[in-house]
Amino acid sequence: MSEVATNAEHDLKQKSLIIFDWDGTLMDSIGLIVKSMHVAGEANGFYTTDEEVKSIIGLSLIRGIQILYPQATTEQHLAIQQSYADYYIYNSTLPNQPHSQLFDGIEAMLQQLKAQNKQLAVATGKKRAGLDRVMDYSQSRHYFVSSRCADESGSKPNPQMLQDILQETGYQVSDAVFIGDSIHDIQMANQLNMTSIAVNYGAANPQVLAAENPTYQVDSPSQLIELLTAD
């Protein structure tokens, strides 16, 4: 390992506040998001592709719908949003489904980070009600000292949710790292010059993520776990 790489990882280990995106970063929910959007769009007479849906993951739901279906009226956008919510909520809590689970190893990582006295937080494009529901279902709420949602702080890449978490926890940008799977995540962190980790196992193509110049980039949950927890 080069001296530069060693110094970079040492710097990461000094971070006290670790902020995660949720969908595609902690929870294996991208497939359900894509399916839900297809069902919702088609129920209202609109069609899109998997890649187009993945490109808006991380934004607030209504903003994503507006981008996917610019030809639709405001009333149709709201109808698609409701159809999406109905399908997603019903299916997100079905037992023994991958989209209802944290990625393998993630909960153990959260436990280890807490044992190392790291402060953990979530910044997500979900609404508060949606985040509360999946946190409760996955029994993971107790790991996090702070969280912000798109309906509280604005849609990514607006950095307000990161600023709110910093203010609530009392940390500075230099104390924190943000981890996400979409270009909107990395763009948000970059606006604050916050250290970022892009994960390639979520919504975005690795090359597209790399073009946003994240501080680190990993291919799998196991690589993320090693990067954050290795001595």
Q: Could you report the per-residue pLDDT of 46-91, keeping only the tens digit for each?
A: 999 999 999 998 888 999 999 999 999 999 999 999 999 999 988 8
Q: What is the pLDDT of residues 87-130, one digit of tens each?
A: 998 888 777 665 568 999 999 999 999 999 999 999 999 999 98
CB contact at 8 A, 103 and 221: yes
State the CB neighbour count (10 A cutoff) for residue 203: 28
Q: What is the pLDDT of residues 166-217, one digit of tens each?
A: 999 999 999 999 999 999 999 999 999 999 999 999 989 999 999 999 999 9
Cα(31)–Cα(229) distance, rounded to whole angstroms? Answer: 28
SS3 223: helix
Q: What is the model's pTM?
A: 0.88
DSSP line for 22-91: -BTTTB--HHHHHHHHHHHHHHTT----HHHHHHHBTB-HHHHHHHH-TTS-HHHHHHHHHHHHHHHHHH
Partners of 218 in the β-ladder? 199
Which pLDDT band holds residue 231 (cuts at 50, 70, 90)?
A: low
Cα(123)–Cα(206) distance, rounded to whole angstroms? Answer: 21
CB contact at 8 A, 212 and 178: no
Domains identified in the chain and CATH numbers: 13-28+101-228 (3.40.50.1000), 30-92 (1.10.150)
Cα(146)–Cα(121) distance, rounded to whole angstroms? Answer: 5
State the CB neighbour count (10 A cutoff) for residue 116: 13
Cα(56)–Cα(66) distance, rounded to whole angstroms? Answer: 10
CB contact at 8 A, 117 and 145: no
Q: What is the pLDDT of residues 15-50, one digit of tens each?
A: 999 999 999 999 988 899 999 999 999 999 999 999
